[in-house]
Every structure is written in C-alpha cells, then in structure tokens.
Amino acid sequence: MTEPKENKVTIKIPRALYNNLKSIIQDTGFNSVTDFIVYVLRDLASRGGATGEGGSLTREEIQLIRRRLKNLGYL
Amino acid sequence: MAKKVFVIGLDCATPQLVFGDWKNKLPNLHKLIEGGIYGELESTIPPITLPAWASMVTGKNPGRLGFYGFRNRKNFSYDDMFFANSYSVKEDTVWDILSRQGKKVIVMGVPPSYPPKPLNGIMIGCFLTPDTDSDYTYPSSLKDEIREKVGDYIIDVHDFRTEDKDYLLHQIYKMTEIRFKTVHYLVTAKEWDFFMFVEMGPDRVHHGLWKYMDREHIKYEPNSPYEHAIFDYYKYLDEEIGGLLALLDEDTVVLVVSDHGAKKMDGGICFNDWLIREGYLTLKTGVDEPTRFKNEMVDWGKSLAWGSGGYYGRLFLNVKGREPQGQIPPEHYEGVRDELIRKLEALTDHRGRPLGTKVFKPDDIYTEVRGIPPDLIVYFADLDWRSVGTVGNPGVWTFENDTGPDDANHAQQGIFILYDPRQKLGRRVSGLHVMDVMPTVLNLMGVDVPPNVEGKIVV
C-alpha cells in the first residue's frame, strides 16, 4: 500500500550493499530490502535505551494510546 | 514429524468458568479439555495483560523483560513514564525463533504487538494500536487486504467504562465477530506453521458485566437482564472456536490459553490516602474531594512513598540520591520496605476484618530486574480489592471506581488447554505457568528451546 509521504523519508545506501542485502533476505520472511533495513534499525533503536522504552512511537501515537488506555480504565 | 501449532488466546478467560460449571455447556472447549491436557495457568506478578502475554511468548518473567505494566518508570523522576509497546520486548519471542527456522508464522493481536515487526509471515497489531488508520499490519499491504476480503477490522471496544451495557455488549460481539472472521480468512488463505491470536472480548465482558452474574458480588443485581450475558458470550466464543477447529487438520496441535483470570471486585483501597494517613506521603495542601494524584501536589521534602492505582497497587519509595528530592537514606531502604509490607499485610477492610493483602519485592520474585519496577507490588486482599490512585477520598476504602464502572479484577490463574488430535491425553495438570507456553510450542514444532528460557516444556 502507498504510505502518506510525510510518514517516510528516503535514505540512500550504496548499491553494492543493497544488492548484498537483497541476496541475504532471499528465502526469508522479509518482503523487501526496505522491510529488512527497517527491522534491523528498529531492533537497534529499541536496544538503545536503558529504560526499556526504546522504539519510536510518535507523539500522536502516544496520545492515541493514552486515550485508549484511559477509556479502558487502565489510566 | 514437526507439527503445526494453533494458539487461541482468550484474554482474561478464567478457570472457574471454563473448567467449572460451564465446562459441559461449551461443547467445543469441552472436546479440547476432555481429549487434551488442561489446568490453571499461573500468570505473571502482576497478572496484567502486557507483561503476562509477553512472558508467555518469550518464556521470560517481567523482570527480565524490563516492563511491569502499561506504564513504566522511564527514570527516577516522579512522573516520567513510558508506555510499553512491541519495541519494549527485546527478548526473542516464539515467532522470532520460528521465523529464523524458516517456519511460517501468523500473529494476530498478541499484546504488545504495535508497531508490528517484520517476521516470516504476518503480524496484526494488538489492542494498543492507535486506530485502524495506523500502520498496524506486517506486511502493511495486509491492512487493505483485510478490509477488502473480511471487512472493517476492530482493534478494541471504544468505550469500555460505560453504564450502557447493551452498547458495550454490541461492541464486544461486533469486535469478536470480525476478529474470528479475520482468523478464518488467514487460516485458509495463508500458509502457516504457527498461528496465534488473542481475542480481548472475555476481558471486556468480565470487567463490564461480572456483577450481574456473581451472587457474591457486592453490587450483584438480582434478576438483571444481563445475568447470563457473560455465559452467552462464552457460548458464542465456543461456537466461533468450533468453527475454527473445523478448519484445522490432524497435524495441528491446538492450545487455548489466557494471560490471567478474573474474579469479583469487592472494592478499592485508596492507596495514596492510606499513605497520607500513615505518615508516608504529605501533600502541599489538603484535598477534600477525589482528585487525580499529581506529582505537583506532593511535598516531596516530607514524603517517603507514593502509590499508583490499577488492578494491583504499585508503591514507589522516595530514596535519597535516587529520586530528585529523595528522603529515605539508602541504608534504610530495606527497613522502610519491610515496615510497609507489615502494615499493608495488616490492613483490614472497612469492617475491621483482615484483607489478606499480599506484597511482593520485585527483587525477590524475578530472576533479574531490568528497567525500573515499583519498589513494592501490592495485591490488596489478594486482588479482591483494587488500588485507587486518587487522593482526597472520604476514607481508605471505597466502593466507587475512579476510572469508571468495573465489576471484576484480574486473578492470578488463567487457563491452559492443549489438544493434540493424534493423541488422547485427557488429564488435568497443575503447576503450569504462562512462561511454559513458549518452550512447549517450540518443542511441539521440533525446534530447540534456547537455554535462557525460564518456562518448562509441558508436553
């Protein structure tokens, strides 16, 4: 599906690396090199914090989740 | 031969109903129980959705996972919290391991799974997905496929704390129906070796309608039109489960599990008001009506502890050198904790009867403590009473809920059923823990269990 443009940015990587990654993900569950890179980077980012927070929920997502948890009586 | 495994997760499904009086009235679950092995499944401490499901799929306790509930302390300030989400799970899940082994996996609605992570198959985000406009599936194209082939997916009920029970039931049934339709679609249209989904409906129906069913409930309403609402919902669930079982072949082992159980809620302990009464917490100015507890209200220079509300209590200590205005010298930390445990365990109900409150030190119950847990975890009346976080209540005991109508609390024991069509097992087992599910699944599928997994193989 097409993502709204503002939710994604383009990052350029060397073509040789791209081709190498393409061969690495063959016969795996990754549908594309992009999915693989996002997976690896998310994993890396999530290991970054000492608190366990990790990850990259947006401010808007956090507000929506907060509202949901409040409606569910958890907050 | 390695088998396929199909896991039906029923959030909050509770043994006294499923294995009790209703066992013979739920024919599909009954078939699994009679032919398989079953028993109570001990939840995590605390028995709360996120850590419990995460422990189940990683085989590791909340201390090792480093999150203890929906909201967790980010640091030692008084109010900096983070929401646990799929990124918070840094340990391998059962589907991470199976993906690496080349097994095809489908994971639907298993908390915490938003944002969905890539895996060898499909993932649909859990009830913490902000809304269906979010990128809640992997691959992202699946979102449109579900809308086209199944219909409008429902993440969760919108307004669960409502007095409009018809509206609540309507929402719950609608959600469960579309979820099971989605499972039907994925089971038949996609390739998979491991399939796991979690339905939130049982949790919502328990919290919303328990008082109409349970004659022992303090708010029981006799002859209510909702008296059989929970039973009717379980009947409906059982029919839906029957529909799924008909799709599975003889090589597929079926598990039915819940993250925790449910029990009636007798009332609430106003935790912070109790701490004020006992001299552990001082507010800058008095509060004479129930008010949300906020960091700014507290005279931290005169406070030793504060508490949080929820189905269980979380107690935090104000420690010198740790919190910004810490008061408890580190060398007195254990002494204050032990003193509070004694007092909490001695707490009575509003009529002076012992409550039987249980208090846990995280460092005693977890093999490792990551992140920042509460200093004490409190089960008021062994979870018969909830923890109320507001201050300014008329007393320590309340029968109103500061977060809206809620009839049920979480119970420590959930359910476990394992059914192998090729083997007549037929027995009840004890001593099961949510952490046992992950290694059991790996073993069934012929995959080695990593050595650092705490759970044990059931079969």
Q: What is the mean pLDDT of residues A5-19?
A: 81
* Position B79, amino acid: D
Query: Which chain A residues have a beta carbon less than 8 Å from that of B65?
Result: 52
pLDDT value of position A55: 56
Alpha-carbon radius of gyration of chain A: 17
> B270 - beta bridge partners?
B388
Q: What is the mean pLDDT of residues B157-180?
A: 93
Q: Which domains does chain B have, with CATH numbers?
A: 4-263+410-444 (3.40.720.10), 267-405 (no CATH)
Residues 6+ away with beta carbon under 8 Å from A30: A36, A39, B118
Burial B336-362 (b: 16+ CB within 10 A, else e): bbeebbeebeebebeeeeebebbbbbb
Q: What is the mean pLDDT of residues B388-392?
A: 95
Judged by CB atoms closer than 8 Å, whether chains meet at B72 and A52 is answered as yes
pLDDT value of position B121: 95
Judged by CB atoms closer than 8 Å, whether chains meet at A71 and B70 is answered as no
Least confidently predicted of A39-43, B319-323, B381-385: A39-43
> CA–CA separation, A62 vs A65, rounded Å?
5
Least confidently predicted of A26-40, B205-219, B376-390: A26-40
Euclidean distance between the first and the last CA atom of chain B, given in angstroms as a whole number: 15
Among candidates B204, B92, B81, B205, which has minimal Cα distance to B454? B92
pLDDT above 80: residue B136: yes
> CA–CA separation, B352 vs B395, rounded Å?
13
Sheet holding B358-360, edge to edge: B305-308, B313-317, B376-379, B358-360
* Position A31, amino acid: N
> CA–CA separation, A32 vs B206, rounded Å?
42
pLDDT value of position A1: 40
A66 contact B CB<8A: yes
Q: What is the mean pLDDT of residues B79-95?
A: 92
pLDDT above 70: residue A43: no
pLDDT above 60: residue A26: yes
Alpha carbon distances (Å) from B257 to B13, B300, B415: 8, 44, 5
Judged by CB atoms closer than 8 Å, whether chains meet at B67 and A28 is answered as no
Q: What is the mean pLDDT of residues B49-70?
A: 96
B131 contact A CB<8A: yes
Judged by CB atoms closer than 8 Å, whether chains meet at A52 and B370 is answered as yes
Which of the 8 DSSP states describes residue A2? P
pLDDT above 50: residue A51: no
pLDDT value of position B160: 78
Closest approach of A58 to chain B, Cα-based (Å): 11
Residue A72's pLDDT band, with cuts at 50, 70 and 90, is: confident
A6 contact B CB<8A: no
Helix (H) or strand (E) holding A38: helix A33-46
pLDDT value of position A12: 87
B87 contact A CB<8A: yes
Q: What is the mean pLDDT of residues B128-145?
A: 93
Please report the ipTM that was assigned to this predicted complex.
0.71
Q: What is the mean pLDDT of residues B168-187?
A: 98
Least confidently predicted of A20-29, B115-124, B435-444: A20-29
Least confidently predicted of A60-69, B203-212, B257-266, B331-340: A60-69
Residue B314's pLDDT band, with cuts at 50, 70 and 90, is: very high
Query: Which chain A residues have a beta carbon less than 8 Å from that of B134?
Result: 61, 64
Give residues 342 to 401 of B whose Cβ lies within 8 Å of A: 370-372, 401
pLDDT above 90: residue B429: yes
pLDDT value of position A52: 44
Helix axis angle for B229-245 and B27-35, nearest 10°, is 60
Please, are residues B282 and B275 in contact by the beta-carbon 8 Å criterion? no
> CA–CA separation, A8 vs B362, rounded Å?
41
Please, are residues B13 and B33 in contact by the beta-carbon 8 Å criterion? no
Q: Which of B88, B140, B161 sits opposite A73 (nearest CB)?
A: B161
Sheet holding B397-398, edge to edge: B385-388, B267-270, B397-398
Euclidean distance between the first and the last CA atom of chain A, given in angstroms as a whole number: 34
